[in-house]
Amino acid sequence: MLEHALSIIPNISKCSKTSKKIIVRIDINSPIKNDKILDDYRLRAHARTISILSDAGSRVVILAHQGRPGQDDFTSLEIHKNLLEKYVGKSIMFIEDIIGPYALNKIDNMENGDIVMLENVRLLSEEVVEGPPERQANTWLVRKLAPHADYFVFDGFAVAHRSQPSVVGFPMVMPSCMGYVMERELAALSEIWRNRKLTLIVVGGAKVPESLRAIKEALDKGLADKVLVGGLVSVVMASARSRVGPSLRQFLEGMGLLSEVERARTLLESYGDFIVLPDDFRSRSGTLDSSNLDEVPGDIGDATIAKFSEIIANYEYVVITGPMGKIEEPEFFAGTRRILEAASRRKAIIGGGHTILSAEKAGVLDKIFHVSTGGRAFLMALSEELPAVNALVESAKRFWL
């Protein structure tokens, strides 16, 4: 499917034309603390797509998001605009609007090479609802913006696994292309797919439901020989195997993860031989045995670091998504750093904002075989079709072939 998609979806050169208005969906969702972007890798990556279009004389309209409504990192994109402007090397007009008359008027009056960035697209409630592409093509976002543009360029690989209006709606109603980032990501995925028997997957981070789903899909379809698990995902899975103390149970309940413990138990019953969990964890009070967790750990332990590193050394390709612990706390960064160091000696593919941030902090980013702008999106793309890719393929059939 991926190689077919690469052969049929037009790349950015097909859409980069002078005087044409182009809606570009990028994903610059980034780790943020105190209104400061902690890692700007995605902004740097997407700057090339924006520059290619603007340099060709296209009139570029940027769509992006940050966080989700109700989350601490749900904020305006103005701080992103300032950084993107720096990497593109051109002025970008920020518009505190998305589909209102003010935004549409500004778009209609753009000059060749102009770049505008619209406000956080998830301010529109319909953007956080997933649905079939044809339905998403009928949303206010698409119906209002599409008539004011000539082409749609999808470059937001990190959100390619979402069937949302800004991802799958536009390709249904207008000629569409894939951006520079999207093309690179699909090429890397194709290589991993061809060499999947030599691939190890390492899953960490705090996105438990998505990670459990991705692990199951990957193992169901034989896309990896083994899966190593760290981060909060491993705490939930370890809880399915061991006695859980009251403080940890209270924590999992507060995070809404008790039901995920049952999902993890089912997954382990089916694939226990292929999933490697930590033998020990590190907490503020010291080392914790994974068979008897009575407090919330912050990192994988020394024995687990050694075990995981030895396993990694036996594989040609290592896909890592998510850190092994609470990387924002220095005392809990060792596990993530050591695993990334081990992976950097193989053909490592890393993805996700916090994983990229960790690789930069560990000083191994320049040794990584492929840095993906998407964490779970990359992992999910190995095991299932991405809505964005399907929409772009359909768009190619409708408007280009």
Q: What is the pLDDT of residues 265-291, one digit of tens each?
A: 999 999 999 999 999 999 999 999 998
pLDDT for residue 232: 96
Please indicate, yes or no, whether the overall pTM of this predicted structure exceeds 0.85.
no
**Alpha carbons within 13 A on the beta-carbon side of 198:** 12
Rounded Cα–Cα distance for residues 128 and 130 (Å): 6
- pLDDT surpassing 70 at residue 208: yes
Task: Give the model's confidence band at 189: pLDDT under 50 very low, under 70 low, under 90 confident, else very high.
Answer: confident
pLDDT for residue 376: 67
Task: Give the model's confidence band at 351: pLDDT under 50 very low, under 70 low, under 90 confident, else very high.
Answer: confident
For residue 38, count other CB atoms closer than 10 A to its CB: 14
- pLDDT surpassing 70 at residue 174: yes
Chain-centre distance for alpha carbon 4: 22
pLDDT for residue 1: 67
Give the number of residues written for the chain.
401
pLDDT for residue 34: 85
- pLDDT surpassing 90 at residue 324: yes
User: Are 152 and 21 in contact, with CB atoms under 8 Å apart?
Assistant: no
Structure tokens at 234: 């491993």
Rounded Cα–Cα distance for residues 9 and 56 (Å): 20
Domains 2-180 and 195-383 share a fold: yes
Rounded Cα–Cα distance for residues 132 and 237 (Å): 32
State the average pLDDT for the chain: 93
Least confident piece of the model among 61-65, 111-115, 218-222, 392-396 = 218-222
CATH class as words, domain 195-383: alpha beta
Rg over alpha carbons for the chain, rounded to the nearest Å, is 21
- pLDDT surpassing 80 at residue 4: yes
**One-character DSSP codes across 335-364:** HHHHHHHHHTTSEEEEESHHHHHHHHHHT-
CATH class as words, domain 2-180: alpha beta
Percent of the chain whose predicted confidence (pLDDT) is above 90: 77
Task: Give the model's confidence band at 294: pLDDT under 50 very low, under 70 low, under 90 confident, else very high.
Answer: confident
- Strand 275-276's sheet: what is its strand order? 275-276, 226-229, 199-203, 317-321, 347-351, 370-372
pLDDT for residue 224: 82
Domains of the chain, by residue range, sit at: 2-180, 195-383
Least confident piece of the model among 129-138, 168-177, 286-295 = 286-295
Q: Point out which residues pair with 300 in neighbouring strands.
A: 281
Least confident piece of the model among 313-327, 347-361, 377-391 = 377-391
- pLDDT surpassing 90 at residue 3: no
Percent of the chain whose predicted confidence (pLDDT) is above 70: 99
- pLDDT surpassing 80 at residue 383: no
Q: What is the mean pLDDT of residues 131-149?
A: 98
Q: What is the mean pLDDT of residues 187-207?
A: 88
Rounded Cα–Cα distance for residues 154 and 64 (Å): 11
Least confident piece of the model among 75-89, 175-189, 214-228, 324-338 = 214-228
Interval 100-120: pLDDT, tens: 999 999 999 999 999 999 999
